[in-house]
Amino acid sequence: MVDRTREWEQIDALIFQYQSGSSEAALGIIKAFGYNPDTNELSKYINKYFSLLRFGVINFKDKDTRHFLRQFTKDKQLLQELIPFYQYAHTKKATRKIVQTINYRMRHITDEELIHDLCTLILVQAKKYKKQGKKTNFCGYLINSYRYKVYEHYKYLFKDMHYNHRIEMLEDYKDENSEIRIAELIKPDLYFKNEKEILGFNWILGKTATFPFNQLTMFERTLLSLYDDKGMTYEEVGAQMGYHRDTIWSKRKQIKEKLNSLLKSPPSD
């Protein structure tokens, strides 16, 4: 077994320098845990989380990874099966399904933003660290706390993952008049040509939106663009906009009512 005592002591020294206000030490900490801003290269600890959150790379032999993923389920059997070193095929399959959902929910976060967040959270923990006894070190503290910090930072994206699976999908129960038929309300020549006749960015901003869509908020036009034009599900729109699918369903129902009201009573010039 490799003795890493000296390495841990060097990292602790960087931590104390950073706590004293050294920006150079902050850079040293980030490099020590796997990100080099000069080359944009990823390795070690930061790369483990980046690869998991971005690409779904799961090291089932890694205890830290397993405990991190346990935060995303309330399935008692799966929670128990992720504790041991060895996992059966059905456990891995269930875990991969969870990670696929995580990757999907985080797809709108750029690589640069994700790396920045992962680095920042390490520095947050570095600020909090207090050495207690000769046997403690920052690496051990980070291993036992970082996974919770990462989950806490992004949990707004996953707040409905523990939803009861018996709850029916709302989009399966649309009434026959629930569709907002944009094609019937807007003329083809009103689309922004450079966006290939889709409800794109300029329409969302209101630049190319005409009545009754110009009376909507940017949030409302964004929702219509994603759901009614791009064909996303309520859950996909919710993941994109940071809301639960039920909220998106409710908001879209309100938009439909608003549009119908506008069409019946157009505002006077």
Whether residues 48 and 148 share a domain: the answer is: yes
Side chain identity at 85, as an amino acid letter?
F
Q: What are residue 140's DSSP bridge partners? A: none
Q: Which domain holds residue 81?
A: 5-157
Whether residues 147 and 47 share a domain: the answer is: yes
Whether residues 67 and 152 share a domain: the answer is: yes
Which of 128, 157, 186 is the last residue in one of the domains?
A: 157
Whether 206 is covered by a domain: the verdict is: yes
Residues 6+ apart with CB under 8 A from 241: 219, 222, 223, 226, 248
Q: What are residue 42's DSSP bridge partners? A: 35
Whether residues 144 and 174 share a domain: the answer is: no
Residues 6+ apart with CB under 8 A from 113: none
Tokens 């990292």 belong to residue: 11
Structure tokens at 260: 């119908």
Whether residues 256 and 190 share a domain: the answer is: yes
Q: What are residue 36's DSSP bridge partners? A: 41
Whether 46 is covered by a domain: the verdict is: yes
Nearest to 145 by CA among 198, 39, 68: 68
Whether 85 is covered by a domain: the verdict is: yes
Q: Are 26 and 32 in contact (CB under 8 A)?
A: no
Question: Pairing relation of β-strands 35-36 and 41-42?
Answer: antiparallel
Strands (E), the chain: 35-36, 41-42
Q: What is the pLDDT of residue 68?
A: 97
pLDDT along the chain (269 residues), means of 10: 79 95 95 93 94 91 95 94 92 91 87 94 94 83 95 86 41 40 40 45 80 87 83 80 81 89 78
Whether residues 218 and 175 share a domain: the answer is: yes
Q: What is the pLDDT of residue 223?
A: 86
Whether residues 152 and 175 share a domain: the answer is: no
Cα gap 113→110, rounded to integer Å: 5
Whether 162 is covered by a domain: the verdict is: no
Whether 164 is covered by a domain: the verdict is: no
Task: Please state the domain count of the chain.
Answer: 2
Q: Are 225 and 204 in contact (CB under 8 A)?
A: yes
Cα gap 151→70, rounded to integer Å: 10
Residues 6+ apart with CB under 8 A from 144: none
Whether 13 is covered by a domain: the verdict is: yes
Helix ranges, the chain (H): 5-19, 23-32, 44-55, 63-69, 76-81, 89-105, 111-128, 138-154, 182-185, 201-205, 218-224, 234-241, 245-264
Structure tokens at 216: 């909507």
Whether residues 177 and 55 share a domain: the answer is: no
Which of 122, 157, 192 is the last residue in one of the domains?
A: 157
Q: Are 37 and 46 in contact (CB under 8 A)?
A: no
Tokens 């806490």 belong to residue: 152
Q: Are 209 and 187 in contact (CB under 8 A)?
A: no
Which of 157, 191, 207 is the last residue in one of the domains?
A: 157
Whether residues 125 and 23 share a domain: the answer is: yes
Whether residues 46 and 119 share a domain: the answer is: yes
Q: What is the pLDDT of residue 198?
A: 58
Tokens 């690869």 belong to residue: 51
Whether 69 is covered by a domain: the verdict is: yes
Whether residues 122 and 196 share a domain: the answer is: no
Whether residues 10 and 141 share a domain: the answer is: yes
Q: What is the pLDDT of residue 194?
A: 38
Whether 256 is covered by a domain: the verdict is: yes
